[in-house]
A and B are shown apart, each in its own frame.
Chain A
């Protein structure tokens, strides 16, 4: 934390800005929100051509937000939680007046007429929206290579994937082109890029954060969650965006606890489950070594290691690619050239639909729409979709059983370090396996965070995942914070 010694804006190295540090520097009038915003836009101008993390910059909105904060400071008013904090928003989140493409050609010129709930809450908490970040098209991908606007470079490992689908937000925060970011996670799309870029990244429990204004991919799986460079900032953002919302019937009416206080609690005596299925064949040796080192750190801090078996883990990817694609085929039926986005003219309505969708969607999106349509089609529904929903229940039951014995579950986030851009683009099954440790929690609906646990000998970031039970965000943040304080992020 730099809160005791906030840096001046304009300094070439702005790396250590935190949410609290910015709030205190603003209150002490050491910087203005406008200066800080200018500094970040300068950084983006310099670095983004190389990283391709941002698709759209929202200067007009950012400076209006900054001026609102500076006026508040001038009046001596109390600063909201995220006052002046430079923020990156994944381009599947609706932002009023700011182009929102889902990294797709089909929405290339779409400008939403409203803010999504999480976005609106950040705005009310004083955040500064720098722009919209690159991702896999409609959040479908594990490497950010499915963007219609080109891949994102991993700032920690040039030439390698930043993870996907929220690769742009992860890269922006990791490269300090933003202090916080929002991503979305359907099968691993927050945690996996967090691991690849070496920063903490949280998937909240299903229903913890409203999905209103999140452009839908798979509605029973989609979550919105934060990226930051330290655990406390992740907790600060979650505190702002969590809570029920009458515009999302699936948002849970469960009180939001004080996540900041959870960070202070001792982890001594906590039971940490280690499921053997996450440490088997396919796990890279160096990733295993780093994750084991962090588990040893937790044991040193007084946690108890409990070996577990979660027997349905190996069915998670197959289950996920039925459930998610089935929901996607339904959700993406709306892109037909009638109400928004691209329209390609046709002789009749049906021809207009298919020409528009042919021109507007990329290869992976088409592949998933077809797989989902197939799984739902007459004659195949029972064999694929219904069966997958049943296996989903078994996977959720594995977690219920585990959480009857332990307080949290620790696994690798990803089986390998970030791989080179281009390596898996022609092999969908290999690409899907990058999510093998994350999709389980997505299907169950529980929370999970990825935190750094060092780098490989080639200096490639490795991520460790902590799963918590429903609404146990405080618990996973507490354990993440203990690892951070113990130096395990940089071991």
Chain B
């Protein structure tokens, strides 16, 4: 067994997902099968391999490409009100949430 019921419940809590008892067992069995499959990665010796986190086109031959990042320049973005209109609960200019700190 690769993953226990307790670990599934802990992971669900970390991810802010609430699971019922039945769900915890169903996901445990499925995640177990997936992790069992993923185990094949342990067959490879990767000690000297550099991890690939991103596809970076470091120095493509393209004209005008310095291969770096753009300058960090402020630009106006005036869709604040439109964004707040999509909020489940808003009081301009804020998003409203339930009380976080109890008095």
Q: Which residues of A contact B (CB under 8 A)?
A: 110-111, 113-114, 206-207, 220, 246, 249-250, 252-255, 312, 314-315, 317-319, 321-322, 329, 333, 336-343, 345-355, 357-358, 361, 366-367, 369-371, 373-374, 377, 384, 386-394, 396, 428-429, 432, 444-445, 470-471
Contacts of B60 in A (CB 8 A): 252-254, 470-471
Evaluate contact between B82 and A249: CB separation under 8 angstroms.
no
Q: Which residues of B contact A (CB under 8 A)?
A: 3, 7-8, 11-12, 14-19, 27, 30-31, 33-35, 37-42, 44, 46, 49-55, 57, 60-65, 69-70, 79, 82-83, 85-89, 95, 97-100
The 4 closest A-B CB pairs, nearest first, are: A445-B55, A113-B82, A389-B51, A343-B88
Contacts of B16 in A (CB 8 A): 333, 336, 350, 353-354, 357
Contacts of A114 in B (CB 8 A): 79
A to B CB contacts below 8 Å, 18 in the list: A207-B57, A315-B40, A318-B39, A336-B16, A339-B83, A339-B86, A341-B86, A345-B98, A349-B99, A370-B11, A373-B15, A374-B3, A387-B41, A387-B46, A389-B51, A392-B51, A394-B46, A428-B33
Contact of A392 among B7, B52, B63, B99 (CB under 8 A): B52
SS of B interface (majority): loop
User: 4 other contacts beyond A113-B85, A252-B57, A338-B95, with CB at 8 A cut-off?
Assistant: A206-B55, A357-B17, A370-B8, A374-B11
Of all chain B residues, the one with the shortest Cβ separation from A384 is B38
Contacts of B52 in A (CB 8 A): 389-390, 392-393, 396
How many Å lie between the Cα of A357 and that of B37 in the bound state?
Answer: 27
Contacts of B41 in A (CB 8 A): 315, 318-319, 322, 387-388, 391
How many Å lie between the Cα of A429 and that of B30 in the bound state?
Answer: 9
* B67 CB, min distance to chain A CBs, angstroms: 8
How many Å lie between the Cα of A374 and that of B28 in the bound state?
Answer: 12
Of all chain B residues, the one with the shortest Cβ separation from A343 is B88
* B48 CB, min distance to chain A CBs, angstroms: 9
Contacts of A314 in B (CB 8 A): 40
Contacts of B98 in A (CB 8 A): 345-349, 351-352
Contact of B62 among A253, A345, A369 (CB under 8 A): A253
* A175 CB, min distance to chain B CBs, angstroms: 32
* B19 CB, min distance to chain A CBs, angstroms: 8
Evaluate contact between B17 and A370: CB separation under 8 angstroms.
yes
Contacts of A388 in B (CB 8 A): 41
Contacts of B89 in A (CB 8 A): 343
Contact of A367 among B30, B38, B50, B62 (CB under 8 A): B30
How many Å lie between the Cα of A342 and that of B87 in the bound state?
Answer: 9
Contacts of B55 in A (CB 8 A): 206-207, 220, 250, 444-445
A340-B8 CB under 8 A given contacts A371-B34, A373-B14: no
How many Å lie between the Cα of A289 and that of B101 in the bound state?
Answer: 66
Evaluate contact between A373 and B49: CB separation under 8 angstroms.
no
